[in-house]
A and B are shown apart, each in its own frame.
Chain A
């Protein structure tokens, strides 16, 4: 939470990248306390690791500092407060934290927990659901990642070539 607020203030983009890495690591710790160890794994590896590396790579290719804002932050603040108030109003109907009788807990989850030992025989229920019950979902995810990879390659493929050509024109 504090790291997020620091990100708002920091002018140096390098500091921003580092703070977002720290934020991911802290959120991974939170996931462990909320029993989601697999998610914590992924968040620590992907959020704190790969994202930070990507950020640093981008910073190396672009600018290190951001310019201070030129227009006033009143309208964004207003928008943010209205949205936040609406969302908090929406949570008033939600079940209490950790309630075992909440609607999210009583329909699908007991089925998965009871049946996956016989049907899939994998100790980790999350793995069983990810790879088997929701296998098509994971296939779609792989497709998304592949598309993103192709997109990044297409966007950046000419970079070195164009740089070299520019260097020749300059000299």
Chain B
């Protein structure tokens, strides 16, 4: 078995692609978690998503392979090595679904901005808390009124 933390260079080079994509993924996750702006969060989500796509596509790559498209005259040379077409199909679907979610998220951001006048997370929370407090005060006044 390979030495996992030693200087096994084939192992390191063979896994470098996964590690780079994971770093990219974590960049996206950091944006989602740490940034307060809703549009920025959606951009972070997109970066995360693209990193996952890259991971899948790199799993489907075969060394020395070519794009999985036959010649137009359908004279198939059996010696030609093709990369795995299945991840490509899955990721095609995922990209389109990703755009659908992005557009929905952005529409929500527009709607929130309309209602609250801001798209910063902490201001929205503050406004929410204030409304709750006002509500609670109002109701307690109503409840404590003598009948």
B61 touches A97 (CB 8 A): yes
Chain B contact residues: helix, strand, loop or mixed: helix
**Closest beta carbon of chain B to A154's beta carbon, Å:** 9
A1, A37, A51: the one contacting B102 at CB < 8 Å is A51
B67 touches A37 (CB 8 A): yes
Residue B133 CB within 8 A of the other chain: no
B23 touches A123 (CB 8 A): no
**Closest beta carbon of chain A to B113's beta carbon, Å:** 4
Chain A contact residues: helix, strand, loop or mixed: helix
B88 touches A13 (CB 8 A): no
Size class of the B contact interface (CB-based, 8 Å) = 35 or more
CB-CB contacts below 8 Å: A120-164 with B: 121, 123-126, 129-130, 134, 137-138, 141, 144-145, 147-149, 151-152, 155-156, 159, 162
**Closest beta carbon of chain B to A59's beta carbon, Å:** 7
Q: A38-B92, A50-B99, A123-B70 are in contact. Are A92 and B43 (CB under 8 A)?
A: no
A4 touches B28 (CB 8 A): yes
Q: How far is the CA of A71 from the CA of B62 in the complex (A)?
A: 45
A27 touches B97 (CB 8 A): no
B30 touches A8 (CB 8 A): yes
Q: How far is the CA of A134 from the CA of B99 in the complex (A)?
A: 20
Q: How far is the CA of A20 from the CA of B87 in the complex (A)?
A: 23
B4, B27, B66: the one contacting A4 at CB < 8 Å is B27
B1-40: contact bitstring with A at CB < 8 Å (1 yes, 0 no)? 0001000001101111111101111111111011111011
Question: Could you say which residues of chain A place their CB within 8 Å of the CB of B138?
Answer: none
B84, B97, B106: the one contacting A55 at CB < 8 Å is B106
B62 touches A100 (CB 8 A): yes
Residues of B within 8 A of A (CB): 4, 10-11, 13-20, 22-31, 33-37, 39-40, 42-44, 46-47, 50, 53-54, 57-72, 74, 76, 81-89, 91-93, 95-97, 99-104, 106-111, 113-114, 118-120, 122
